[in-house]
Amino acid sequence: MKIELDNQGGLFGECSNKILSDFLSPNGKYQAYYFLRSCGVTTGYSTHISLVLDESSLPNEKGNIFIASVSDLKYVGDEGEVKLNVRWDGKNILVIEYPKEAHIFAKKSQYKNILIKANAKL
């Protein structure tokens, strides 16, 4: 029997996303989704951010710009997410502030024409 794992460590096809919040860019072109991803009982939750064109919905995939988790409960929100501050700073800059204690698995500095400023500040 062959068992395939997806790129988030869950059994293939078992991952799901729960949108916590979304942020429309000032020019209305992009949507930043802040979401919780679960890939089954053998993995914990992880917190993700994806940027998509505004008319697109969030795909059932890992975040395309930011992925983190945290073990210290004082940095965990009501849904099990890493507490983040997310905001647009102008039409082409997305700011993500996360706890210094967070475990960062992915952090991009740019996505297409969007500059991403992700910093440990909380």
Per-residue pLDDT of the chain (122 residues; tens, 9 = 90+): 333 444 444 445 589 999 999 999 999 999 999 999 998 776 778 999 999 998 889 999 999 999 999 988 899 999 999 999 999 999 899 999 999 999 999 999 999 999 999 999 87
Say what the pTM is. Answer: 0.85
The CB density around residue 111, as the number of other CB atoms within 10 Å, is 18
Closest CA to 43 of 105, 99, 107, 86: 105
Closest CA to 96 of 80, 76, 114: 114
> Domain limits of the chain?
16-120
pLDDT of residue 13: 56
CA separation for the pair 81, 11 (Å, rounded): 21
